[in-house]
Amino acid sequence: MFIQLLRVFSIICVALVMGNLVKKVKLPAILGWLTAGIIFGPYLAEVVTFEITDSLWYKIFVKIFECFAGVMLGKELIFKKIAKSGKQIIGITVIQSVATFLFVSLVFSIVFIITDIPVYMAFIFGGIALATAPAPALSIVNEYHTSGPVTDTLIPLAIIDDVIGIIIFFSVITTVNVTMGSAAASPLMVLGIIFLPVIIGALTGIIAALIIKKINNTAAGFITFIFFLCLCAFSGILTDKFIFHSFSMNYFLTGISFSTAVSNMVSEEKFNRYMDIYSPILNISMVIVIISLGIPLDYKLIAGAGLFTAIYIVSRAVGKTGGAYLGGVITKSPPTVKKYLGLTLLPHSGVSLVFTGIAATSLTAIDPSLASVITGTIAAAAIINEIIAVILAKIAFKKAGEIKASPKTPQQIQ
């Protein structure tokens, strides 16, 4: 295990260097982190092997840092600040989510009718297309200190979007399972996957906040914050182990709920002091999460990407950008939100790969060839889309005028 730990640590170090090199050419550091994961993962250099990624300690390691990274969103969800635009954000989220699902499903319905593939596959593609990976866009927010209407809309939207995506995807896959005679996912399990991370994070955060409010010493308060954040992460791990018997929950949501509870109960001045100290932990958490997104991506799929992959990338992009624009128009959002929010929603790996694995498992029992279609298409799209989407997200923030400060120096991120 020590050797495995050393391998993972070495990849993190290389990723930090690659991130800094990428920044030299005015691109987001995340591209360096993601590339490091792909290059040194099990499909190329094999520094991190399948034996490592399948090990329990590695899965726990990644989930803990996903929880830690989720703090970035939660700290921005001050209810009194977003109360004025809450309906607007919910409106945009619902409209762009439904628009993406319907548009991708419609496009693939036509394609699959022509290619003689069952039409229900189109709705599975539509369900997977909803998934948005918040980490890439949020790493740009963190790196470039973005601020403005697009950033303010993206942060709460990322949370609501994830919940809507889970509900729609599991509704589709459960319907397909029941209709085609495969084992259906339990409705209680679906509800648990959606709500348990929020409940765990919120309850732990409330307890932490009640204690922190009575602590005047910054160091002691921060240690208490970290202790309960770790307790939050391990509570999620134990819940996954004994209830779902796998890592099914979204640990971003756990971290988000935790920091949301604390940030809304503790004074803004005190919480900001904690976040200043927490900044290096957040930075390294983002690096680890992005590397973990790159590791399972097979670079060879880029060469093998076919027509379905191209159609999927384009139709999803049209659904996300068009849906966000339509939502912005209907909710009378600022012009920059209408124009550029959709581009920040394009990053797609992570949750999409989890959805793909679930869909492939269900389809294998129905027709193994269909499982291959969906796995090959989405995996290839995840690699291609992730690289393009990160660049487009940075361009969107820049065009919106929300990149106002220089990126962090290497000393700040290390």
Write out pLDDT tens, residues 14-59: 999 998 898 887 777 777 887 888 899 898 889 999 999 989 999 9
The least confident of 83-97, 143-157, 294-308, 330-344 is 294-308
The residue whose two tokens read 């869909």 is 359
Which strand (E) or helix (H) includes residue 281?
helix 268-294
> Would the pLDDT of 114 be above 90?
yes
pLDDT score of 181 more than 70: no
Q: Which of 124, 130, 166 is closest to 377 using CA atoms? A: 124
Instruction: Please say whether the dihedral angle defined by the alpha carbons of residues 38, 360, 393 and 252, taken in this order, is positive or negative.
Output: negative
The encoded tokens of residue 376 equal: 């090959």
Amino acid at 240: D
- Residue 411 has a pLDDT of 40
Class of domain 2-413: mainly alpha
Q: How far apart are CA 194 and CA 180, in angstroms?
A: 25
pLDDT higher than threshold 50 for residue 199: yes
Q: Supply the DSSP string of 311-364, one letter for each residue.
A: HHHHHHHHHHHHHHHHHHHHTT--HHHHHHHHHHT---TTHHHHHHHHHHHHHH
Contact 300, 308 (CB under 8 A): no
Report the pLDDT averaged over residues 71-96.
73
Q: Is the predicted pLDDT of residue 347 greater than 50, yes or no?
A: yes
Angle, CA 126 vertex, CA 195 and CA 177 arms, to 5° = 70
Q: Please, is 163 exposed, middle or buried when counting C-beta atoms within 10 Å of its C-beta (0-12, 13-18, 19+)? A: middle
Q: Is the pLDDT of residue 251 over 80?
A: yes
Task: Tell me what pLDDT residue 49 has.
Answer: 92
Structure tokens at 297: 């991506």
Per the CB < 8 A criterion, the answer to whether 59 and 66 are in contact is no
The pLDDT value recorded for residue 65 is 93
Highest mean pLDDT among 94-108, 190-204, 380-394: 94-108
Given a cut of 60, whether residue 274 has pLDDT beyond it is yes
- pLDDT given at position 184: 47
* pLDDT exceeds 60 at position 243: yes
